[in-house]
Amino acid sequence: MSETLLILIPLLPLLGFLINGLGFPNLPKGAVGIIGTLAVVASFVLSIMTFNAFLAGGSQPFIVPLFDWITVGELKIPFSFQIDQLSLLMLMIITGVGSLIHIYSIGYMHHDAGFGKFFAYLNLFLFFMLLLVLGSNYVIMFIGWEGVGLCSYLLIGFWNKNTNYNNAARKAFIMNRVGDLGFLLGIFTIIATFGSVEYADVFSKATGFQVGDPVIVTITLFLFIGAMGKSAQIPLYTWLPDAMAGPTPVSALIHAATMVTAGIYMVIRSNVLYSLAPSTLEIVGIIGAATALFAASIGLLQNDIKKVLAYSTVSQLGYMFMGLGAMAYSASMFHVITHAFFKALLFLGAGSVIHAMSDEQDIRSMGGLRKKLPITFLTFLIATIAISGIPPFAGFFSKDEILAHVFEHNKILWVIGVLGSLMTSFYMFRLLFLTFFGTFRGTHEQEHHLHESPASMTIPLVILAVLSAVGGFIGVPEALHGTHYLAEFMSPLYDAARQVNPEAFEPTILSHSEEYLLMGISVAVALVSAVIAYVMYVQKAAVPEADTVEKSALQKAVYNKYYVDELYDAVFVKPIKTLSNVLYSFGEFFIDLIVNAFVKLTSFLAGQLKKTQSGSTGDYVFAMVLGIVAILFWKLLL
């Protein structure tokens, strides 16, 4: 595997961006779709080749230096890539799921006037996402980190005539920037502490630190602020539900499968640092659990098909951070992978539904779609089972592994996790039943238009459904007499962390029977929720009430997302605006007042001084005498 080919992995999507971006008014639609998709598929093929070469070469990580990017004094920031287990796994997800979503978009975006722009942005996103995971140091990660934020901004506001969409896009960018500042301060602390930003340097030097060293705690906290922004954790999560303003394939790729998992990638990448900072990990776990529960509860009452999935994503990301908090790095990565499959599938399925429903997103207007959209329905069903954690589908294995680790670590968080599972299963089956079961509740016109999506859209659905169904078998726990291939593969990543904090990596103390019990509980919870949802929405055929109907206070709070947006608006947005106006009108006026006063004072003094130049000899003699007296006084008395 030559290095040139490796460089092509991010470069091909960049090339696709340039071709489509610069040439789209002149390129035929067919060519645009093919160029955009081919760039990513080729990248995927190259990723597989790299993966195989890596395995064949004895799984030895290596660095591909490209050029010196920023050199200042002692600080050298090279532009270089690092290939190891983690970057390879991310490569496979990004380019694999990315390819499917590109294919899907050919069908989904077919009628859109901005078709070329869309593919250009999507390719640019992949370029930055690949940089993020391929970089061999924190600053390259930061390039990708901000770059994907830009693409997210551009794609959320893709339909830029709509002011609400633009506001959603701006909100996403700014909120991410809050996290980015944390990331940046983390990098600065890393530079101050280690004198380098290269992972290899930083991690090897970190092994000289004690567990709990305040500097490491500081660094990990700063980095985690970045992760909270990008991966939509409390308190920086409110941008993600709004991000659903973007076209649905964007929600699938960026706001579910790849970009939002960057925070998890960052923590796993920095596992040496985090393993040295158990107090940070406590915080990570608590924030993750809180987010998992909080977002799931909001999902219970949402009626917009994409909003439900968005809160579900926030909640699932919370589970991943819960896992990280319990130092179950591989388990979290496992959930990143399975989540990429089933959540991308759910969004694409939702896209297929929206496509069929003539852009309707309210599930209260749907119902009974399973007959008209059989492929969409079946695949959506598989994804729903997978995310709910029902065996043997993918989500069961990964979520269960996280919960088992959390149980060992902190029983309270585990209870929260199980509660979250209960809600997850309920809101997902609620969504499934309201959309695909019962009778159609939309308009006649919509009913008339109902159709299954074209093959370019259903084929990706089917592939993702297969992956959601069987993807969990890469990590079957020992208790179920399987092999955890993923954990074995990722194990070398933690060598340094194991060395600095051996206790944290001791094998599980749970007995098999305990593990069975835990599995039993989470499966039972999921099934019970599914049954309740079935009774409510299929047997009783309940439909959520219209917005005009009066709700109880609690329902209202949940339905309005606990008024967090309103809270932020009152606490941050409005005061800053007021401050801006005050500074502009009063601050500037006041400073000018001083300046003018100074000018006045100067001219006044000048006027006074002018009087001394009276031209009268008597005055001068008088002044001279005064001066001599003053000097004498000074000399004699002091």
Which positions lie near another protein, rule CB under 8 A? 25, 67-73, 75, 139, 142-143, 146-147, 150, 153, 157, 160-163, 166-167, 170, 173-174, 177-178, 180-181, 184-185, 187-189, 191-192, 576-577, 579-581, 583-584, 587-588, 591-592, 594-595, 599
Helix, strand, coil share (%) of the chain residues, nearest 5: 75, 5, 20
Based on CB atoms, which residue is closest to another protein, 93 or 148?
148
State the nearest-atom distance from the C-beta of 595 to another protein, in Å: 6
Q: Smallest gap, in angstroms, from Cβ of residue 117 to another protein?
A: 9
Is the CB of 142 or the CB of 489 nearer to another protein?
142
Distance in Å, CB of 165 to another protein, minimum? 9
Nearest distance from C-beta of residue 580 to another protein, angstroms: 4
Task: Give me Rg for the CA atoms of the chain.
Answer: 30
Q: Identify any residues that bridge with 75 across adjacent strands, giving them in sequence order.
A: 72
Contacts of 63 (CB under 8 A, 6+ apart): 80, 81, 82, 83, 136, 200
Closer CB to another protein, residue 85 or residue 220? Answer: 220
Q: Which is nearer to another protein, 495 or 588 (CB)?
A: 588
How near is the Cβ of 150 to another protein at its closest, in Å? 6
Instruction: Specify the residue, 595 or 625, whose C-beta has the smaller distance to another protein.
Output: 595
CB of 47 to another protein, least distance (A): 22
How many other β-carbons are positioned within 10 Å of the β-carbon of residue 602?
10
Kindly tell me which of 192 and 541 has the beta carbon lying closer to another protein.
192
Is the Cβ of residue 163 or residue 539 nearer to another protein in the bound state?
Answer: 163
Give least dist CB 168 to another protein, A: 11
d(CA 477, CA 588): 66
Instruction: Tell me 586's DSSP state.
Output: I
Nearest-angstrom CA–CA distance, 139 and 10:
17
Residue 197 parent element (H or E): none
Whole-angstrom distance, CA of residue 392 vs CA of residue 459: 23
Smallest gap from residue 134 Cβ to another protein (A):
14
Q: Across-strand partners of 198?
A: 137
Exposure b/e, 361-395, CB count within 10 A at least 16 = b: bbbbbbbbbbebbebbbbbbbbbbbbbbbbbebbb
Distance CA(196)–CA(202), nearest Å, equals 7
State which residue, 218 or 456, has the beta carbon closest to another protein.
218
Using CB atoms within 10 Å of the CB of residue 586, give its burial: 0 to 12 exposed, 13 to 18 middle, 19+ buried. exposed
**In the chain, what is the greatest distance between 2 CA atoms, to the nearest angstrom?**
115
Residues 181, 184, 188, 194, CA torsion sign: positive
Q: How far is the CB of 199 from another protein (least distance, A)?
A: 17
Helix (H, G, I), strand (E, B) or coil at 137: strand
Nearest to another protein of 2, 163 (CB atom): 163
Type of residue at 259: M
Q: How far apart, in whole angstroms, are the C-alpha atoms of residue 110 and residue 124?
A: 19
CA dist 7 → 81, 177, 342, 504, 531 (Å): 8, 28, 30, 37, 50
* Complex with another protein: residue 192 or 630, whichever CB lies closer: 192
State in angstroms the smallest separation of the CB of 593 from another protein. 10
Which of 22, 175, 44, 167 is CA-nearest to residue 102?
44
Q: HEC string of 480-501?
A: HCCCCHHHHHHHHHHHHHHHHC
**Beta strands per DSSP E along 531-572:** none
Is the CB of 74 or the CB of 550 nearer to another protein?
74
**By C-beta, is 192 or 625 nearer to another protein?**
192
Number of residues that this document lists for the chain: 638
Closer to another protein by Cβ: residue 189 or 297: 189
In the complex, what is the shortest distance from the CB of residue 101 to another protein, in angstroms, rounded to a whole number? 24
Residue 321 Cβ, how far from another protein at the closest point, in Å?
Answer: 23
Burial of residue 429 (CB within 10 Å: 0-12, 13-18, 19+) is buried
> Comparing C-alpha atoms, which of 233, 232, 337, 215 is closest to residue 285?
233
Q: Where are the alpha helices (DSSP H) in 195-257?
A: 199-206, 214-230, 239-242, 248-252
Compute the distance between CA of residue 183 and CA of residue 626 in angstroms, rounded to an integer.
68
- Closest approach, Cβ 254 to another protein, in A, equals 17
Q: Which residue number, 235 or 278, has a Cβ lying nearer to another protein?
A: 235
Closest approach of Cβ 70 to another protein, in Å?
Answer: 6
Whether residue 247 is preceded by a cis peptide bond, meaning omega within 30 degrees of 0, is: no
Minimum CB distance to another protein smaller for 165 or for 377: 165
Q: Compare residues 30 and 73 and give the one whose CB is closer to another protein.
A: 73
Q: Nearest approach, Cβ of 121 to another protein (angstroms)?
A: 12
| Residue 352: CB minimum distance to another protein, A | 29
Give the helix ranges, DSSP H, for 357-484: 374-388, 394-409, 411-436, 444-449, 455-470
Q: Which residues contact 575 (CB under 8 A, 6 or more apart)?
A: none
